[in-house]
A and B are shown apart, each in its own frame.
Chain A
Amino acid sequence: MSTAASQRPNGLALFILPSALLFALFFFLPIGLMAVMSVLTGNPVVMPKVAFTMRHYVRMIDDPFYLEVIWTTIRIGLVTTLVALAIGYPLAHWMARIKSRTGHALLLMAVLAPMLTGIVVRTFAWMTLLSDKGVVNQTLMSLGLISQPLKLMYTETGIVVGLVHIYVPFMVLTLTGVIGRIDERLEQAAENLGASPFRAFIEVTLPLSLPGILAGSLLVFALAISAYVTPILLGGFQIMTLPILIYQQISANFNVGFAAALGIVLLIISLILVIAYNRALGLVSGQRELQ
């Protein structure tokens, strides 16, 4: 674009103002405050004499319990992302390639429909399915496949099941957009040159959809590690994740400083991922030229 256009004051630029204000007030300011709180000895609003300290971070590193919580959170995030990808990719591919308009509308409905129900309601639904006397265990026991109920609730498996159900639509929608933009004739060209349909997918479609895989995974991972309701209800405080820990520190222990430090750690994990995502996208550079 010409430099003249960018230098001239543009009236349309004013439309950015509301979102800029919103971001400053409700995004940068709170995060800044949180960062400050994480290195203070107390709350400056109620305690006039506060000093700088690193003790919240030192506590995290010294106590294996907190490292374990961080690792559990990341593990749940990773497993959720991988399962959501495995479920979401075929669905997204189907949606992107389906010829019939009605078929596409039905698939989209199926993907979006769960999002019309609140997370809490959906999580309670999973509790009725997964609990010891829930639908899954009752069915398996009446079929004689198991004698003891499987422990599905209050485990990481239960949490992952609930999280995958909630976040699969994000994965599917992100992937559908990217796969839909890949020219079908590229797959046909590969088949014409002797690649079986599966080989054509591996050689052409999969690498070209990598940006979508990365974007969808980033989104689902970030949402999964910051999830609160599902890990609490399906984990029943027996599985400790960072968001639950943060909540406890604030509401039960009134340790705002430590909670802030934990929040910063959660934020840094997400930031590292975003940076890694950008790097990875740069490496699959062929994709950029396509767009």
Chain B
Amino acid sequence: MSASIEIAGVSKVYDGGVRAVDAVAMDIRQGEFFSLLGPSGCGKTTTLRMIAGFETPSAGAIRVDGSDITHVPAHKRDMGMVFQNYALFPHRTVAENVAFGLRMRGLDKVTIAAKVKAALAMVELSGMEERRPAQLSGGQQQRVALARAIVIAPRVLLCDEPLGALDKKLRQQMQFELKQLQKRLGLTLVFVTHDQEEALAMSDRIAVMNGGRVEQVGTPTEIYNQPTTRFVADFIGDTNILRGERAGPNLDVGKGLMLALPPSEMQGTGILSIALRPEKIRLSPRGDAPIAAGSSAHGIVENTNFLGGAVLYRVTLEGGHRVLVQQPNAGTSRLFVPGDSATLEWTPADLVVLKD
């Protein structure tokens, strides 16, 4: 049965004092698709390896369904793992690879054969039993690795950037299939990735990590719409980050630009950073009418980046700030070209106040 995982203040310090993971705490719920997202070196893989039992935490505890497994050796943890390079046994056939975990559990041959057959059917690899890993494509190897990990009905499935080596089309297909499989089997799945789009698309919840610490834990929409730290706002998608000093209900970001703060943030003094997503800004041709102070500005389009479904503009405001603006390619409105004068408008409530 799938299990919940509790990571309680876990740190990993390597010889030489490198803190790969620093006081990480999170609760992964039963049956949840949970992603560890961050740039390389953020500690996400080390965290996963500690859950798997390949690394021992320097401090803290890991609990599965409430029982402490911090010092249980890897082979007694009953967790499935899909490795980044799949780590298939090159000297064994596909069927032998999938059967490995069942064999270690001492199951009889008939049961093993039936389970292997079912697992290979589930990942649509029936008929490939006698091939060796080197005779398979990357996508097929990935499926074998997945079948090998889930055939043992693990309490938790751990995935270390399992789709990293696949090309984009195949990757999207595998994302879809993995997500479907996870939901169907009700698996608790911990997924390590550096790809924010992948994490947003697949996860129930995401932990964004940076420098060995957890920056924010939340659902994909929370992470995207309400980033709490500057790092999260910057790492997930494109964003405009402005820093300034509070001046009453406004934020003075310099160069003559004042931003009206959202209603909930009007109190207080001091320095503040805010994030504003490019797609939350509306762009229109510059008119003669006066504009609302604090929620609009004039600017010149510097360059355009056509994304297909949308267009990303880099606009220089009159005071000199440069901002990104994304407009849907709706077809009704004229597209802007570099050199166009434009008016930018936004809603103060869309500004997200960040912790540094």
Bitwise interface map of B from 56 to 81 toward A, beta carbon under 8 Å scored 1, else 0: 00000000000000000111111111
CA distance A286 to B132 in the complex (A): 8
- Given known A183-B85, A188-B74, A289-B134, contact A193–B148 (CB-CB < 8 A): yes
A284 within 8 A of B: yes
B105 within 8 A of A: yes
Closest to B85 in A: A185
B52 within 8 A of A: yes
B122 within 8 A of A: no
B26 within 8 A of A: no
Bitwise interface map of B from 150 to 183 toward A, beta carbon under 8 Å scored 1, else 0: 0010000000000000000000000000000000
- Given known A188-B54, A284-B91, contact A195–B104 (CB-CB < 8 A): yes
Q: Is the CB of B91 within 8 A of A191?
A: no
CA distance A190 to B91 in the complex (A): 13
CA distance A47 to B135 in the complex (A): 63
Closest to A192 in B: B81
CA distance A287 to B152 in the complex (A): 26
- Given known A199-B104, A289-B134, A290-B134, contact A189–B89 (CB-CB < 8 A): yes
For chain B, which range describes its interface: under 10, 10 to 19, 20 to 34, or 35 or more residues? 20 to 34
CA distance A188 to B53 in the complex (A): 9
Closest to B99 in A: A193
Closest to A195 in B: B104
B92 within 8 A of A: yes
Contacts of B79 in A (CB 8 A): 192
Nearest CB of chain A from residue B245's CB, rounded to whole Å: 50
Contacts of B231 in A (CB 8 A): none
Chain A positions 169-200 with a Cβ under 8 Å from a chain B Cβ: 183, 185-186, 188-197, 199-200
- Given known A197-B75, A289-B134, contact A185–B83 (CB-CB < 8 A): yes
B336 within 8 A of A: no
Bitwise interface map of B from 76 to 105 toward A, beta carbon under 8 Å scored 1, else 0: 111111010101111110000000110011
Contacts of B134 in A (CB 8 A): 289-290
Q: Is the CB of A289 within 8 A of B132?
A: yes
Nearest CB of chain A from residue B85's CB, rounded to whole Å: 7
CA distance A190 to B76 in the complex (A): 12
- Given known A185-B83, A185-B85, contact A194–B152 (CB-CB < 8 A): yes
Nearest CB of chain A from residue B241's CB, rounded to whole Å: 38
Q: Is the CB of A287 within 8 A of B91?
A: yes
Chain B positions 268-318 with a Cβ under 8 Å from a chain A Cβ: none
Bitwise interface map of A from 192 to 215 toward B, beta carbon under 8 Å scored 1, else 0: 111111011001100110000000
Nearest CB of chain A from residue B99's CB, rounded to whole Å: 10
Closest to A199 in B: B104
Closest to A288 in B: B134
Chain B positions 99-127 with a Cβ under 8 Å from a chain A Cβ: 100-101, 104-105
Contacts of B105 in A (CB 8 A): 194
Closest to B106 in A: A194
Per a CB cutoff under 8 Å, which of B53, B74, B91, B100 touches A286? Answer: B91
4 A-B pairs closest in CB distance: A286-B91, A289-B134, A193-B101, A194-B104
Q: What 9 new A-B contacts, CB under 8 Å, besides A185-B83, A189-B83, A194-B76?
A: A186-B87, A188-B54, A191-B75, A193-B101, A203-B100, A204-B89, A289-B134, A289-B135, A290-B90
Q: List 6 A-B contacts (CB under 8 A).
A: A183-B87, A185-B83, A189-B87, A192-B80, A193-B104, A208-B91
